[in-house]
Amino acid sequence: MRDTKLLEKFLKDNYKKIVEMSLFRNLKKEVNAGANGTLGYKIKKGINKDKVIKYE
């Protein structure tokens, strides 16, 4: 006796997972580095408040 129901269920679930992952990959938006004018960290408290520490 062949397990056709089990194989069909596996194929259906696997296909659904593949379609979901491809949609996730294609619809994900790219992040713009430095879009807000800085690539560094802005200090929020203390003497150097509002200064930007740049990454090089």
**Per-residue pLDDT tens for 15-27?**
999 999 988 888 8
Q: In the chain, what is the straight-line distance between the N-terminal and C-terminal CA atoms, in Å?
A: 66
16 HSE (CA, 13 A, CB side): 6
Residue 15 lies in a domain: yes
Token look-up 């949609």 returns 23
- Would 27 be classed as within a structural domain? yes
Q: For residue 19, tell me if it sits in a domain.
A: yes
Counted domains in the chain:
1
Q: For position 10, what pLDDT does the model report?
A: 93
Q: Is 38 part of a structural domain of the chain?
A: no
What pLDDT, on a 0 to 100 scale, did the predictor assign at position 55?
Answer: 65
Residue 34: what pLDDT? 65
User: Is 6 inside a domain boundary?
Assistant: yes
User: In the prediction, which pLDDT does 36 show?
Assistant: 65
Domain presence at residue 54: no
Q: Each residue of 38-49: b (16+ CB within 10 Å) or e?
A: eeeeeeeeeeee
In which domain, by residue range, is 1 found?
A: 1-31
The pLDDT, as a whole number, for residue 50 is: 83
User: Is residue 49 domain-resident?
Assistant: no
Q: What is the pLDDT of residues 25-54, one digit of tens each?
A: 888 777 676 666 657 778 888 898 888 887
